[in-house]
Structure 1
Amino acid sequence: MSLLKLLSVLLDYPREELWEHGAELLEAADEPALSGSRRAELEWFVRDLLRTDPLEAQDRWLSLFDRGRSMSLLMFEHIHGESRDRGQAMVDLVEAYRRNGFELAARELPDYLPLLLEYLQQRPQEEARDWLQHLGPILGLLAARAEERKSPYAMLFEMLIEYADGKLDLRVMRQRASEESRDDTPEAMDRLWEEEAVRFGAEAPGEDCPPAARTIARPAATRQVQP
């Protein structure tokens, strides 16, 4: 399992099948390309996750990534917000997937970071690094905001920045994150509910629903925890 694949799995919503492949995750965490300290941090993250009850791990994930927009794993939300440009950017991204033999095998947004990482781990390393360098400022803010929330997920974003070998001053991001108003508090969530349009019908998912099961694949392949 490559490093990008591992980070994709760890950043994704922690489904119970993850615990079934703990040995493989720990083996992948011993990545020779990482420094000794980063390998130790990554191994600690995996072991801590595997020691955690799945329901608790899922609640932690939802509390961090699914409350407010500042920690969203949808990359284009940070770039385009709700503008029309976001829709076109997603169309272009889906076309890029298809040109390289990938199809989304589930109904989901293509800019979801774990999905994008799974795609990039099968592309040439130079191309993957170029993508992540362009996303560097977003990843830096996510790292800083996660650190501000005292979440161990901060380390995973830092590793993506290091993988991209980009020049990014995380001190600036941490200063910005420290000065931001949190958008995951009950008060902030209430304000968000008041501002957003009400969604009707059976197609509208509940706000407390976990992400749908997802796969991305070459033809006849499916997304799995194992390599």
Structure 2
Amino acid sequence: MSLLKLVGVLLDYPQDALWQHGEELLEAANDPGLPLPRRQALVQLVRELLDTDALDAQERWLMLFDRGRSMSLLLFEHIHGESRDRGQAMVDLVEAYRKNGFELSAKELPDYLPLLLEYLSQRPQAEARDWLRHVSHIIGLLAARAGERSSPYAVLLELLVEYAEGRLELDALRKRASEEPRDDTPEAMDRLWEEEAVRFGAEAPGEDCTPPTRMPARTSTPPAAARQVQP
């Protein structure tokens, strides 16, 4: 299993496939090609996830990646926000996927980072690095914010920056992250819901009040984790 494939699985919303393929994930994390400190941190993260109850792991994921916009794994949210340019960017990204035989289900958002990593894990390494280099400033800021929140997920984002740039220089981003107001507090979330009280179309909440598509729904196809781990 490639590094991009592994990181994509671990960054995705934790589902049953994660625990079902735990040994395979541990083997991939213990990659001798990685520097020893990185390998140890990656193995520790996988072991911690596997030792965590699924509901607790899912709650921790939601608390980090689904509260506020600053830690969203939807890349275009950081580039385009809610502007109309985001829609065209998604269309262009889907078309790029399709040109290389990578099809999405109707409910998958193409700019979801674990999904992008699934695609890039199937592409030549030079091409994958080039793609990630174009968004490494976003991933680096996510890494800095995750580190500021003492999240074990920070190592995954740092690995992606290293993969793209060949080095990790997050000092300026960490300083920025430390000075940012948090957008995942109850007060910030209340303000966000007031701003987004009326939403229609694909971004609207479902009838069961599940979150909008910040966490891509994958009911009609196997979850990304299952697709990635299975041979």
TM-score, structure 2 length as denominator? Answer: 0.90
**1:99-118 correspondence to structure 2 within 5 Å:** 99-118=99-118
Secondary structure of 2:82's partner?
coil
Note the residue ranges of structure 2 that are not aligned, 5 or more in a row. none
Equivalent residue, structure 1, for 2:179: 179
3-state SS of 1:198 partner: coil
The residue aligned with 1:133 is 133
The answer for the alignment partner of 1:14 in structure 2 is 14
Kept in 1: contact 2:144–2:174 (CA 8 A): yes
C-alpha separation in 2, matches of 1:152 and 1:55: 17
Instruction: Give the C-alpha shift of residue 62 in structure 1.
Output: 0.3
Offset from partner CA, 1:112-163 (integer Å, 9 cap, x none): 0000000000001001001111111101110011111110101100000111
- Which position in structure 2 is the counterpart of 1:25? 25
Query: What's the counterpart of residue 204 of structure 1?
Result: 205
- Indicate conservation of the 8 Å contact 1:137/1:168, yes or no: no
Give, in whole Å, the separation in 2 of the partners of 1:116 and 1:215. 16
2-side partners of 1:78 and 1:96: how far apart? 20
TM-score by length of structure 1 reads 0.92
Equivalent residues of 1:19, 1:50 under 8 A apart: yes
Following the alignment from structure 1 to structure 2, what is the Cα–Cα distance between the partners of residues 188 and 52? 28
Q: Which stretches in structure 1 are left out of the alignment for 5+ residues?
A: none
What is the alpha-carbon root mean square deviation over aligned residues? 2.1
In structure 1, what residue type is equivalent to 2:89?
Answer: A
Deviations 1:47-69 (A, max 9, x none): 00000000000000000000000
Superposed displacement of residue 223, structure 1:
1.7
What is the distance in 1 between the residues matched to 2:201 and 2:160? 38
Deviation at 1:208, TM superposition (A): 4.5
> 1:225 Cα deviation (Å)?
2.1
| Cα distance in 2 between the residues matched to 1:12 and 1:3 | 14
Matched, 1:225 2:229: yes
Task: Provide the rounded CA distance (Å) in 2 between the counterparts of 1:8 and 1:170.
Answer: 21
Matches within 5 A, 1:69-80: 69-80=69-80
Task: Find the aligned partners of 2:201 and 2:141 in 1 and give their Cα distance.
Answer: 35
